[in-house]
Each structure stands twice: as structure tokens, then as C-alpha cells.
A and B are shown apart, each in its own frame.
Chain A
Amino acid sequence: MIDTKIPVTVLTGYLGAGKTTLLNRILSEEQGKRYAVIVNEFGEIGIDNDLIVNADEEVFEMNNGCICCTVRGDLIRIIEGLMKRKGTFDAIVIETTGLADPAPVAQTFFVDDDVQRRARLDAIVTVVDAKHVLARLDDSHEAMEQIAFADIILLNKTDLVTPQELEHVRQRIAVINNQAVVHETVNSAVPLDRILDQGAFDLDRILEIEPAFLDEEDHEHDDTITSISIACPTPLDPRKFMPWLQDITARQGQDILRTKGIIAFPDEPKRYVVQAVHMLLSGDLQEREWGVDDPRISRLVLIGRNLDPAALESGFMACAA
């Protein structure tokens, strides 16, 4: 079946990090591709595009008994309304304000059937200012969330810091989110094929999960977001793993920002791939089968706050068949 869903790229990042510069690169360098750009009405100006839509970042709670399940009401309306211009654009870029929490944006694509039918979230791209990010991380909840939610991080303005400072920033980012692909840039200059059409939320394109390289010592204080990677060398029993995963995302879903996993089940030639944004889980058997020589190692990554690595690891291991 041909995928007729419009791909959506979300650009986040603190004010002044270089989001608008990146957006203008996308609009000017991607010749032949037409974009609908959704920007905040009070956001940065100077975007050159035919189709610009002002959003007001209305975050709504879903009335479904799930307190962390928030969506962007304006995006639901805008994506529906853009269908009146069907055929006049090929992709959507959403530029959020510096203070935006990416969770409601991502959750909109999980929760709303109408949005899901028309559009697919391609990737969350976070632009980070190498010079100021450490200070931002200390005083801003949102700066950390934006890094934690990213599929791709543009570590920008690397010309303004010393090699030592840059290394420190790299390490800090890796502690928060060890799964994002990091590109170091000046003036947001990155080949666009590294940030567009990534399929980061496409279960069939989640190819591997990097193992953890995190020390326990890196945990600083409770509010800090960290990534936890777990691996199990024996295939997992789906009758144990599924309830366990549902239970932890339901109970700790407010603290768990993102989850990604590639799981081996006994006698199942296909990989089971799972991902979640807070409590919203999606999972499926991937078309791609385990290779003959592939070690059938099940891996799970959780990015969030107040995570207990020992408890999560023992819970995961207990799912072994």
C-alpha cells in the first residue's frame, strides 16, 4: 500500500538555539518539495514560505482518565483544516516555541484517529545551543524535556565553545538521551537527509537500539532525566513481557517520557518492536526478520525521571521465556 500520510517533522529547541535558521534551510534547500509550516503566532519571525499557519499551542487534557495524556488541540484542527489544501504541499514542519513541552505534540499523533489517518510523525528534531545549553538545563524543565524527547539533536553553535566545553555538553546530552542521533553543527548546517524522512516513529524502521554506556554515578538529582538501556540475551515470553510493559508504562507513565524496544520472542522469526510516549504504547511485529547470525538479544530503552534501573532491569529479565 502506498503511504499517503503526510510526514511531519517537529522542530524544538530553546529560544535562540537556531530553530528558525534550520527551518529556513529546509524551506530553501529542499527544492521541489512543498511544505506547510506551522509556527507559534508569538514565535520567531522571518520565515519565507507560501503556506504558514499560526498555531497557538493549546494543550488539552484528554477526558479519558489518563492525567498525563495531553494533546495539542490546535494541531488536531490545523491538520484537519490543511486537508482543504490537499495536493498543494508534501510535508509539514511544526516549529514549537522555546518553552514548549514536546509530549503533547507527540501524543497528538498517537491519540487522535483523524490526525493518524492523515499524517505521520517523522521525527522530533531538537536544536541545542552548545554555548548556553548547560545553563538552560539547570534552570529550565522544558530544555531537558526537549532533549529527552528528541530523535535527532542538532548540537549547534559548536564554534562558540572550547573543545572541553563541547565534550562536557556531549556527555550531558548522552546522560539525558542516549538514543538520539547527535549532529554537531555551526549555523544549523546539516545535510537535510539526516533530519528529514527519518521514520523515527515508524516501527518498521526502528532498526537497532544502542546499548547503554551509563554509569550509576551519572544520576544527579531526582528531577534529572536519564536514559536506561536494558538487554536480555534470552528471548522473552510475550505473556510475561506485555503485561509487565503495560504495567510500568501505566504506573510510571508520567515519569517515563519515551520508550523504545526491540524484543525477541521464542520461535518468532520477526522482531517485535515497541515504542511509547508516556503511557501511549504501540507495538508490532516488524517485517524484517532476525538474521540467521543475529544474536537474538531483546533490548529496551527508557528515557525519564525517577527511574529505578535495578528494578526495571530485574523486571525485564524476569520476562525471559
Chain B
Amino acid sequence: MIDLARDHSLKAHVRPIALGAPASGLVWIGDAACFALGDGRVLAVESNGAVHGNGVVHKGAILCAARSPCGRAMICGDDVGDVRRTEPSGQSVLLGRFPGRWIEHIVTSAESGIIAASVGKEVAVWNRQSDAQAHGFSLASTVTGLALDAKGRRLAAARYGGVSLFYALSPQSQPLPLEWKGSHIAVTLSPKADYAVSGTQETGLHGWRLPGREDMAMSGYEAKTRSFSWNRKGTWLATSGDTNAIIWPFEGRNGPMGKRPQLLAPSTYLVTRVAFHPSQDVLAVGYADGAVVLARLHEDMFLPVAAADQSAITALEWDRAGQCLAWGSEDGHGGILDLRKAA
């Protein structure tokens, strides 16, 4: 149990990591935090500082990363059109090549074995059977965000004018359109796929309750929301895009409709990344000034983890046990908090 009142000196248990390039994504594989970087490198480093691999595996800038369905590697996409699976050692396999395209979003599921990557107006899908692309889905405009439900079966793709829902494993899946005017730039699905929520260009969220597709609007944000995180029960959705972490209640029949969100960890800077602890109602929050804090639902208090260094947090992830938290920033600063030392 993380005790925010007792663990007041978390900064002492942080190992700073010089990434050397902007962090695009971050995945924990076993004990290693694997950073996907803007110069094409994948840097795998343990909380004790031991480096597993630090090689250039992508020819372009890595734009996105997710854990492979098998859990032993990461799947990354870059800005020259490659999708690769890379192990912490640096050993890497090419999964797809889309010359001249940017691979901006990748989602994966250990449950269904699926990998989905956005390639312009297409979504390319791989399944457990093969390293070759299995099938794909087409949209009318560029895919600006992807999300899977907990089972890895429903796939949501954000786009201009709303979100399209697919059955990810089915090549013939016809899109279920969730329409709302304007440009949608990020999306998340609740673990049970009973809600889809998008971030909009005009700031604020738009939501749809499924399967009825009732609309919900969640406004009051200072900036665009790009980072979402559900708590383990799927009852709270944490979001970026404001100077507080904004957390919406999804308990009960009506979800957040008519309810107020919790505002945690206020700052003068925007929240850029949020990540719920895998088993507790503790939220890690990263800001545009490079600070990282931990906050607990229903509590006003929060604990500083990393000090501000003027470069926005762009990656923030807990390991599976919830013992270590890693982060990376736009200017290539990173760090790992090891709570086992704080205990």
C-alpha cells in the first residue's frame, strides 16, 4: 500500500535517466523500463540502472510504442513507416513497412493477441497467428487515436467527425460510427467497452455510452486531452489537458453524466500524462514542466516524485506489479521511481 502521508521523500528513491532524445513511449518488460526514442533508439534500463539494450532499431523517429501481446517485447511505429517488435536486448523484427507514412498510434492486447497500428487513414491489424499483417480497416480521414477494450476485441479509432468502432479480430468488421462534429484527436474505451470517450480539437471530451450511443460532453479543459487512464475497476477515468488531473466517475448507470469530476494535483502547468497504479487508486501525473507527482483519489494531498525541468512529460508508465514508475520527457530526461526502496 502506498501511503502518501508516510512516503514523503519519494524523490530520494528516483534514479534519473538521461535518454538522449525525446521520449515517444515507454513500456515495462519484466524489470526493464523500455523507452522508445525520437532518434530511433530503444533504451531498456532497470530500476537499478542496469542497461539491457540501447541500440538504434528504427531508421526514423519512433512515434509510438506498446507492449507486445506476448509481454516480452515492445511494438513501435516510426515516421518512415516501419512497425517493429523489439526485445529489451535490442533484438528486433520488422512486422510491417508502409513507406512514406507515419505510424502514429499502436495498441495491443495480451488477451486477444492483437496489434493495431494507424497508417494514415488505415488501421493495420496483426493477430497471434503470424508476424505478417492479418487485415486492415479503412476510414474516411486520418486516424488520430486508437484504443482497445480490456478483452482486446473492440477497437476504437478517432477521426474527423467522431470515432469508428470495429471488432478488431474480424476482417469483415463494419465500422459502427460514433458521430460528433469537429476533429477528434484521441480516444479511449472503458475496460468493458460500455463507454467510448474522445479528446477534441476544441478541447474537452466527447463521450458515447454504448450500445445506445447516447452523447456526453465533458468540458472545462484548458488544452487538448491526449492522455487517458482507467483505474483497475474501470470506475474512474483520469485525463490530461488541464492544470489539474481531471478524473471522471464512471460508476453507476449514467457514468459521468450529471456528476462532477475530481480535480487532483493542481499545478500552474498543464497535465500532459496520467497513469493509474495497476492495483490502487493512486494516480501518477506528469506535467508540461517536467514534474511528476503521485496523487490518491479523494485526497487533496499529493507527493512530488520528479522536479520540474521545463520539458513536458511525454511518457509515464507503472510496471505490472505497481512497484516502479518510469517517465520520459520531450527533451530526453527520464527517471524511475522504485517504491520497494521507499517501503
Contacts and interface: CB of A to CB of B under 8 A. Distances in A.
B126 to A, nearest CB: 23
Given A41-B100, A73-B141, A81-B104, A114 B24 contact: no
B202 A81 contact: no
Contact of A56 (B38, B142, B144): B142
Contacts of B63: 81, 84
A83 interface: yes
* Residues of B in contact with A, size category: 20 to 34
B22 A83 contact: yes
Contacts of B223: 113-114
B216 to A, nearest CB: 15
Contact of A81 (B102, B141, B200, B201): B102
A31 interface: no
A58 B181 contact: no
A53 B104 CA distance: 13
A5 interface: no
B142 A58 contact: yes
B22 to A, nearest CB: 5
Contact of A77 (B24, B144, B181, B202): B144
A44 interface: no
Contact of A114 (B79, B142, B202, B224): B224
Interface residues of A, number: 24
A112 B181 CA distance: 17
B330 interface: yes
A221 B273 CA distance: 54
Contacts of A62: 182-183, 201-202
Contacts of B26: none
Contacts of B260: none
Given A56-B120, A58-B142, A63 B24 contact: no
Contacts of B201: 60, 62-63, 71, 73, 76, 112
A56 B144 CA distance: 14
A61 interface: yes
Interface string B1-44: 00000000000000000000010100000000000001000000
Interface of B: 22, 24, 38, 61-63, 79, 100-102, 104, 120-121, 141-142, 144, 160, 181-183, 200-202, 223-224, 330-331
28 contacts: A56-B142, A58-B141, A58-B160, A62-B183, A62-B201, A62-B202, A63-B181, A63-B200, A63-B202, A64-B202, A71-B201, A73-B142, A77-B102, A77-B142, A81-B79, A81-B102, A81-B104, A83-B22, A83-B330, A84-B22, A84-B24, A84-B38, A85-B38, A85-B61, A85-B79, A86-B38, A114-B223, A114-B224
